[in-house]
Amino acid sequence: MAHHRLTVQQFLILAFVSVSVPLGDTALSHGMTSLPAISLAHPLTLIAAVFTPWIALGILLLIGYFASYLTALSWADLTYVMPATALGNVFVALLAHFWLHETISPMRWMGVALITIGVGFVAHGPVSTTPPLNLPTTIDEVEDPSLGDALEGDAIEKEQVR
């Protein structure tokens, strides 16, 4: 039951998986560096840090990452989602170069190129190569006729989304 095509919604979820980690980490880093130094003698200041806007934004982005990562794993292979996650590193390098004007060494550009090619390789293939375990593969397998209708309805709905 290999399926090849991503719906628009699925593509957006994978895109969010890639960009949310670099954005979230950047927000956390920005938030923490703009705070006065926190010493281990006052650990409660760390709790207060959670409620500052940048840290809160970073945490929200990372929660969003985990939710979309789990959703992606429910319809895509782990070996398909993994490269998408790695693409985040490429975004960090590009942002650092074009926005923060940091110098990127040739070795790092090589890393950017390899990850991009690797992601291209996987994205070209099937999204999932394993059958969904809990869903009946044909309508005939469904014993409850009303459930069968529901599944058919779902299939029609999915077609319309595409």
Residues lying near another protein in the complex (CB under 8 A): 2, 9-10, 70-71, 73-75, 77-79, 81-83, 86, 89-90, 93, 107-108, 110-119, 121-122, 124-126, 129-130, 132-135, 154
Strand residues in the chain grouped as ranges (E): none
The amino acid sitting at 122 is V
Task: Find the angle CA(76)-CA(120)-CA(14) to the nearest 5 degrees.
Answer: 40
Report the SS3 class of residue 3: strand
CB of 140 to another protein, least distance (A): 18
Residue 15 CB, nearest approach to another protein (Å): 15
Strand partners, 3: 128
Look up residue 68 and give its amino acid: S
Residue 152: CB minimum distance to another protein, A? 13
Which of 53, 160 has the CB closer to another protein? 160
Which of residues 70 and 139 has its CB atom nearest to another protein in the complex? 70
Our CB check for another protein shows the closer of 52 and 85 to be 85
- Count of CB atoms situated within 10 Å of the CB of 30: 13
Asked whether the beta carbons of 129 and 2 are under 8 A apart, the reply is: yes
Dig out the tokens for 41 from the structure: 């003698």
The distance of closest approach from Cβ of residue 120 to another protein in the complex, given in angstroms and rounded to an integer, is: 8
